[in-house]
Structure 1
Amino acid sequence: MTSMWKTALLAGAAWSAIAGFAVAQEAQVQQGMAAEGLSVDEVVVTARRREESLKDVPVAVTAFSAAKLEQQGAADITVLSQTVPNITVQTARGSNSTLISYIRGVGQQDPLWGYEPGVGLYVDDVYIYRPQGAVLDVFDIERIEVLRGPQGTLYGRNTIGGAIKYVTKRLGDDASAKVRATYGSYNQTDLLVSAQTPIGGSGLSIGGAYALYKRDGYGENLTTGAEHYNKDVQAIRLSAEYKPTDTLFFRLAYDRVEDDSNPRHGYRETLPTAGNYPLLKSVYDTRAGLGDKNHVKTEGLSLTAEWNATENLTFKSITADRKGHTQTLIDFDGTPLPTLDVPATYDDRSFSQELQAVYSDENVQGVFGLYYMNSQASGEFDTIAGNLGVSIADGGKVSTQSFAAFFDFSANLTDRLKVSLGARATRDAKRSNVFRLFYLGATPSPYQGGAQRPILQTRTNYSAEKTFSQFTPRVSVSYDLSDDLTTYASFSKGFKSGGWDMRGDALITPQTVNGYKPEVVKTYEAGLKGYMLDRRVSFSSAVFLSKYTDQQVTTQVVVPSGIASSVDNAGSSTLYGAEFEANAKLTQSLSGNVSVGYIHAKYDSFSRFVPAGAPNPLNPSTTLATGQVINVADLYGFQNTPEWTGNVSLTWRGDVAGGSLAITPMVSYRDSYQQFEQPLPALDQKAFTLVDMTAIWTAPGGRYKLALTGKNLTNERYRTGGYNFAGATYNNSVIGFYGPPRTVAGSIEVAF
Structure 2
Amino acid sequence: MSLPLIPLLLSASTPAAHEPDVPAPVAQAPQRQDGDIVVTARRREERIQEVPVALSVLSGATLAEAGAFNVSRIQQSQPALQFYSSNPRNTAINIRGLGAPFGLTNDGIEQGVGFYVDGVYIGRVGASTFDFVDVERVEVLRGPQGTLYGKNTTAGAINITTRKPSFTPEVRFEASTGNYDFLQIKGSASAPIADDKLAVRLSTSVSKRKGTIYDTRSDSNLHRLDNYGVRGQLLWRAAPNLDLALSGDFNLQNPLCCVQYYVRIGATQRPLDRQYAALAAAFGYTPPSTDPFDRRTDLDADINSRQEIGGASLVANWDLGPATITSVSAWRYWDWQPANDRDFVGLPITTVSQNPSQQKQVTQELRIASNGRNRLEYTAGVFVFHQTIDTQGSQVQGPAASRWLLNPTSAAANTPATLNDLTSKNTIGFDNTSFAVFGKLNWEVLPKLRFQPGLRLNYDKKTGSYRAVVINGAGSTTLTADQRGVLAPQNYSARFSDWNVSGDATLSYDFARDVHGYATYARSFKSGGINLSGLPLDANNNPILGAASVKPEKVNHFELGLKTQFLDRRATLNLAGFWTEVKDYQATVTNGQLGVIRGYLANADKVRVRGVEVDSNFQPTDRFKLYVNGAYTDAKYVRFRDAPCPPELSGGTTGTTPSAPGTPGGVSPANCDISGQMLPGISEWALGFGGEVNAPVQEGQVYLGYDGSWRSRFSSNPSPSAYTWIDGFALSNFRLGYRKGKVNAFAWVRNAFDKRYFELLSVQSGNTGLVVGQPGDPRTWGFTISGSF
TM-score over 0.5 (shorter chain) = yes
More off after superposition, 476-485 vs 373-382? 373-382
Per the alignment, residue 551 of structure 1 pairs with 585
For the structure 1 residues 369 and 616, does the alpha-carbon distance in structure 2 shift closer, same or farther, using more than 3 Å as the test? farther
1:173-193 residue CA offsets vs partner (Å, 9 max, x unmatched):
111112222110100011112
| Deviation at residue 98 of structure 1 after TM alignment | 6.0
Q: Quick check: 1:675 aligned with 2:716?
A: yes
Alignment partner of 2:333 out of 319, 323, 327: 323
- Is the 8 Å Cα contact of residues 702 and 738 (structure 2) preserved in structure 1? yes
Q: How does 1:62-141 map to 2 (within 5 A)?
A: 62-90=56-84, 92-95=85-88, 99-108=91-100, 109=102, 110-141=104-135
Whole-angstrom CA distance in 1 between matches of 2:91 and 2:768: 28
Aligned pair 1:438/2:498, yes or no? Answer: no
CA distance in 2 between partners of 1:281 and 1:629 (Å): 33
TM-score (norm 1): 0.88
Q: Confirm or deny: 8 A CA contact 1:560 1:613 kept in the other structure.
A: no
Provide the rounded CA distance (Å) in 2 between the counterparts of 1:467 and 1:694: 52
Task: Please show how residues 575-590 of structure 1 align to structure 2 within 5 Å.
Answer: 575-590=609-624
1:749 is the counterpart of 2:758: no
CA deviations over 1:700-732 (Å, ceiling 9, x no partner): x32x33122211101112111232126xx5764
* 8 Å Cα contact 1:220-1:228 kept in structure 2: yes
Say whether the 8 Å CA contact 2:109–2:527 is kept in structure 1.
no
Deviations 1:502-525 (A, max 9, x none): 223364351445411111221100
Root-mean-square deviation (Å): 2.6
Matched, 1:152 2:146: yes
* Structure 1 residue 392 displacement after superposition: 3.5
Supply the distance in 1 between the matched residues of 2:665 and 2:532 (Cα, whole angstroms). Answer: 25
Runs (5+) with no aligned partner, structure 2: 1-32, 266-275, 406-418
C-alpha deviations, 1:390-415, integer Å up to 9, x for none?
33444412211100000011111122
Rounded Cα–Cα distance in structure 1 between residues aligned with 2:194 and 2:736: 39
Match of 1:169 in 2: 163
Aligned pairs for 1:650-669 within 5 A:
650-669=691-710
Output the amino acid matched with 2:776.
Answer: G
2:776 corresponding residue in structure 1: 739
Q: CA deviation at 1:682?
A: 3.4
Quote the residue 2:449 is aligned against: 417
Counterpart code for 1:433: S
Rounded to whole Å, the distance in 1 between the matches of 2:211 and 2:34 is 41
Cα distance, 1:625 vs structure 2: 9.9
Match of 1:632 in 2: 674
Displacement after TM superposition at 1:555 (Å):
1.2
Shift in CA distance, 79/751, structure 1 to aligned 2, threshold 3 Å? same
Per-residue CA deviations over 1:298-323 (Å, capped at 9, x if unaligned) read 1011100010011x200000001011
Aligned-pair distance for 1:464?
Answer: 2.5
List per-residue Cα deviations over 1:426-471 (Å, max 9, x = no partner). Answer: 1001111112333324xxxxxxxxx976474663212222212211
- Whole-Å Cα distance in 2 between the matches of residues 82 and 506 of structure 1? 36
1:405 aligns with 2:437: yes
2:682 equivalent in structure 1: 641
Q: Which moved more, 1:99-108 or 1:524-533?
A: 99-108
Q: How do 1:10-29 and structure 2 match up within 5 A?
A: none
Check if 1:482 corresponds to 2:512: yes
Preserved CA contact (<8 Å) 2:178 2:781: yes
Deviations 1:34-77 (A, max 9, x none): xxxxx994122211101111111111111112223234332322
Cα offset, 1:81, TM superposition: 1.5
Q: 1:420 to 1:586 in 2, by over 3 A?
A: same
What secondary structure, in the 3-state scheme, does the structure 2 residue paired with 1:74 have? coil
Distance of aligned partners of 1:380 and 1:512 in 2 relative to their CA distance in 1, 3 Å threshold = farther
- Which residue of structure 1 aligns with residue 544 of structure 2? 510
Residues 306 and 628 (structure 1), Cα distance of their counterparts in 2 relative to 1, 3 Å cut: same
- Structure 1 gap ranges (5+): 1-38, 442-450
Q: Give the drift of 1:157.
A: 1.6
1:295 is aligned with what amino acid? R
Superposition pairs for residues 377-392 of structure 1, below 5 Å?
377-385=389-397, 386-387=401-402, 388=405, 389=419, 390-392=422-424
Shift of 1:224: 1.1
Equivalent residues of 2:560, 2:578 under 8 A apart: yes
The answer as to 2:258 corresponding to 1:277 is no
Secondary structure, aligned partner of 1:82:
coil
What SS does the aligned partner of 2:79 have?
coil
Contact 1:86/1:642 (8 A) holds in 2? no
> Equivalent of 1:313, from 309, 323, 347?
323
Change beyond 3 A, Cα 1:391–1:684: farther
Q: How many angstroms does 1:630 deviate by?
A: 4.9
Q: 2:37: which partner in 1?
A: 43
Which residue number corresponds to residue 222 of structure 1? 216
Aligned residue-pair number: 697
Checking the alignment, whether the CA contact within 8 Å between 1:669 and 1:690 is kept in structure 2 is yes
Partner residue, 2:527: 497
Q: Which residue type is aligned with residue 579 of structure 1? A: E
Contact 2:643–2:719, Cα closer than 8 Å, also in 1: no
1:334 pairs with one of 314, 323, 344: 344
* Match status 1:519 vs 2:519: no
Report whether the alignment pairs 1:710 with 2:744. Answer: no
User: Per the alignment, in what secondary structure is the counterpart of residue 173 of structure 1?
Assistant: coil
Query: Secondary structure in 2 aligned to 1:476?
Result: strand
Correspondence list, 1:676-691, <5 A: 676-691=717-732
The 1:212–1:136 alpha-carbon spacing in structure 2 relative to 1, beyond 3 Å, is: same
TM-score by length of 2: 0.84
Task: Check conservation: 1:706, 1:749, Cα contact below 8 A.
Answer: yes
Q: 1:473 aligns with which of 470, 495, 503?
A: 503
Pairwise CA distance, 1:163: 0.7
CA 1:133–1:739 in structure 2 vs 1: closer, same or farther (change >3 Å)? farther
Q: Which moved more, 1:565-574 or 1:538-547?
A: 565-574
1:374 aligns with 2:404: no
Pairwise mapping of residues 128-277 of structure 1 onto structure 2 (< 5 A)? 128-270=122-264, 272=276, 273-274=279-280, 275=283, 276-277=285-286
CA distances 1:203-249 after superposition (whole Å, capped 9, x unpaired): 10011111110000112111111211111000111111111222000
Distance 2:95 2:678 in 1: 16
Q: Give the AA of the match of 1:314.
A: T
Q: Which moved more, 1:230-239 or 1:659-668?
A: 659-668
Percent identity of equivalent pairs: 26
1:528 aligns with 2:528: no
CA contact (8 A) 2:535 2:548 kept: no
| CA 1:615–1:223: 2 relative to 1, 3 Å | farther
Where 1:153 maps in the other structure, the secondary structure is: helix
Q: Is the contact made by 1:175 and 1:198 (CA closer than 8 Å) also made in structure 2? A: yes
Between stretches 573-582 and 674-683, larger displacement belongs to 674-683
What is the CA distance between 1:582 and its match in structure 2? 1.3
| AA partner of residue 499 (structure 1) | G
Change (3 A) 1:602 1:742: same
What amino acid is aligned across from residue 491 of structure 2 in structure 1?
Answer: N
3-state secondary structure, aligned to 1:75: coil
User: Does the 8 Å contact 2:43/2:379 carry over to 1?
Assistant: yes
- Residue equivalent to 1:35: none
Call closer, same or farther: CA 1:394–1:107 in 2, change over 3 Å. farther
**Residue 416 (structure 2) aligns with:** none
Question: Is it true that 1:357 corresponds to 2:368 in the alignment?
Answer: yes
- Give, in whole Å, the separation in 2 of the partners of 1:40 and 1:356: 29
